[in-house]
């Protein structure tokens, strides 16, 4: 029955997208001297409907610009295809290969168990340990991989809890642990550029629409993303702890967690190698360009070497992944390198195509003049207090992403918000950053994000558990993102100034 419903819904989405495209092309012609405007709007509507209804696989829908933009005269095929390969794609690719190396040698499992052993054995400490582990790991590897890795560890702990304490209390703690892991996977991702795809989409789309804008560096993003992530994390911990009555009087046998960690054995040469390359990569990312901390400025290594205009974060990501492909492994049972030759096959190429489709669409918004047209139509937003406008945007994206891909919705909405920012004469990043962060904050539904789906599949949660907890966390994240971007963002990115690059 569920499959039949999905098939019918997808078919309805398929037809609706085509109808939307035809109606816009036939009846929407705001600038007859610029037919590219209506064609871009039609393609945008088609892709939006198909992405939201998953009428076709997301990556397949992302290929539409390669067909329709050349055929309608919006952009030549050579220009459209350029959107599918760029420095942001290589940053994602390099970062993902590093994550594959961590997973291959189970370094991520060692890191997670080590954190949990350090936190203590009371119920709140165990919850906090799992959440910190999931959050820290998802800053660097996909939230899906993090959730898949954390779930078996959590289920082992839950089984031990269920055997030691009454069923009712054990049920509450198990629900708290599972939700804590799912939510932390999403929360941790917003702290770094490589933590979640919407962050990288923001970097590239901003550069497409505003070519003269300064590149958002890894370090500058962390200065904003990390505090926001940390505060939302704290809110999640408090909400879960209170709602499920996680009592510190309940605790596990100290030896249980230690035995789990001991079962990993001594840290291997391969794990040490991956950890060293990973640490090197993070430091190179953070200190590539100068960091203004307010009380001091740390010069970037690329500036010192006088190559700041020649390298970016993708350069570092590719160097690190190349190193992992070169360094030999000592494990004779495995292929002879830290990263095996077939590791490249594990890269989620569908996400890369999804990136490319969004970038092509953003480029068309700018080239066709649709962005200018939208900006003119949205002059009315100038009368709305900017803080209220940010709040509305954050809330809208937050709840919308419960039902559709966060990457797809980010790539659809960012060009529109760029137009809105020009119409109200505010820094585009003041609207685009909150939307990007909010797109990763889907906490209410199992379909909202893969970690939600993964923990829900454990059959220890009810949909009502996720909805009531997720709703409170949604509201909290909306408020935290709105106010921190507005105030802290001004300090880091000077968001209170309408910049020359946007004029």
The pLDDT value recorded for residue 475 is 95
Question: What sign does the dihedral 388-414-405-64 (CA atoms) show?
Answer: positive
CA distance 335 to 194: 27
Q: SS3 for 476?
A: helix
The pLDDT value recorded for residue 46 is 92
Q: SS3 for 251?
A: strand
425: left (phi over 0), alpha (psi -120 to 50) or beta: left
Q: Determine the Cα angle at 407 with ends 314 and 461, to 5°.
A: 120
CA distance 445 to 467: 6
Tokens (6 digits) for 462 = 């009810």
Which positions ≥6 away from 263 have C-beta within 8 Å? Answer: none
- The answer to whether residue 42 scores a pLDDT higher than 60 is yes
What DSSP string runs through 129-191? HHHHHHHHHHTTS-HHHHHHHHHHHHHHHHHHHHHHS-HHHHHHHHHHHHHHHHHHHHHHHTT
Q: Determine the Cα angle at 53 with ends 47 and 56, to 5°.
A: 65
Residue 294 — very low, low, confident or very high, per pLDDT cuts 50/70/90? low
The pLDDT value recorded for residue 334 is 55
pTM: predicted TM-score of the whole model, two decimal places: 0.84
Tokens (6 digits) for 202 = 């923001």
The pLDDT value recorded for residue 108 is 83
Q: Which of 52-66, 68-82, 343-357, 407-421 has the highest mean pLDDT?
A: 68-82
CA distance 234 to 12: 41
As a whole number, the mean pLDDT across the chain is 87
- The answer to whether residue 4 scores a pLDDT higher than 50 is no
Nearest alpha-carbon partner for 178 in 143, 239, 127: 127
CA distance 15 to 13: 5
CA distance 43 to 37: 10
Interior/surface letters 346-382, b for 16+ CB within 10 angstroms, e for the rest: eeeeebbbbbbbbbbbbbbbbbbbbbbbbbeebeebe
Question: What's the pLDDT tens digit per position in 257-291?
Answer: 777 778 888 899 999 999 999 899 989 988 888 77
Q: First-to-last CA distance in the chain?
A: 53
Tokens 């100038």 locate to 382
């Amino acid at each position: 029955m569920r499959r039949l419903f999905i098939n019918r819904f997808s078919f309805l989405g398929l037809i609706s997208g085509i109808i939307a495209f035809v109606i816009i092309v036939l009846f929407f012609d705001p600038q007859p001297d610029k037919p590219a405007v209506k064609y871009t709007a039609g393609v945008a509507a088609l892709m939006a409907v198909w992405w939201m209804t998953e009428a076709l696989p997301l990556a397949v829908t992302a290929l539409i610009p390669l067909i329709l933009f050349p055929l309608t005269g919006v952009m030549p095929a050579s220009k459209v295809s350029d959107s599918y390969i760029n420095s942001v794609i290589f940053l994602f690719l390099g970062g993902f290969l590093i994550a594959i190396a961590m997973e291959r040698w189970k370094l991520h499992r060692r890191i997670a168990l080590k954190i949990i052993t350090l936190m203590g054995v009371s119920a709140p400490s165990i919850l906090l340990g799992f959440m910190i582990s999931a959050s820290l790991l998802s800053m660097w590897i996909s939230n899906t991989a993090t959730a898949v890795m954390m779930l078996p560890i959590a289920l082992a702990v839950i089984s031990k809890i269920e055997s030691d304490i009454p069923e009712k209390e054990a049920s509450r703690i198990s629900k708290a642990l599972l939700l804590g892991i799912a939510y932390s996977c999403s929360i941790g991702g917003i702290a770094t550029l490589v933590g979640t795809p919407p962050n990288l989409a923001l970097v590239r789309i901003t550069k497409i629409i505003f070519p003269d804008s300064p590149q958002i560096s890894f370090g500058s993003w962390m200065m904003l993303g990390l505090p926001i992530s940390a505060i939302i994390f704290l809110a999640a911990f408090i909400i879960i702890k209170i709602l499920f009555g996680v009592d510190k009087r309940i605790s596990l046998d100290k030896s249980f967690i230690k035995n789990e960690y001991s079962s990993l054995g001594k840290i291997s040469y391969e794990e040490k190698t991956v950890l060293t390359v990973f640490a090197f990569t993070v430091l190179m990312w953070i200190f590539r360009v100068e960091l203004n901390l307010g009380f001091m400025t740390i010069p970037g290594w690329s500036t010192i070497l006088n190559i700041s205009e020649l390298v970016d974060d993708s350069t570092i990501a590719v160097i690190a992944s190349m190193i992992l492909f070169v360094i030999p492994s000592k494990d004779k049972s495995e292929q002879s390198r830290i990263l095996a030759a077939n590791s490249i096959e594990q890269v989620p190429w569908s996400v890369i195509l999804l990136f490319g489709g969004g970038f092509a669409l953003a480029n068309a918004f700018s080239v066709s003049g649709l962005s200018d047209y939208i900006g003119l139509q949205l002059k009315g937003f100038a009368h709305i207090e900017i803080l209220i406008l940010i709040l509305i945007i954050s809330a809208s994206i937050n709840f919308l992403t419960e039902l559709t891909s966060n990457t797809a919705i980010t790539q659809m909405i960012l060009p529109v918000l760029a137009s809105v920012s020009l119409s109200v004469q505010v820094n585009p990043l003041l609207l685009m950053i909150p939307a990007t962060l909010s797109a990763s904050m889907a906490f209410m539904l199992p379909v909202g994000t893969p970690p939600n789906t993964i923990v829900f599949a454990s059959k220890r949660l009810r949909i009502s558990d996720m909805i009531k907890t997720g709703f409170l966390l949604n509201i909290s994240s909306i408020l935290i993102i709105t106010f921190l971007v507005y105030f802290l963002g001004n300090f880091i990115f000077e968001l209170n100034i309408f910049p020359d690059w946007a004029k």
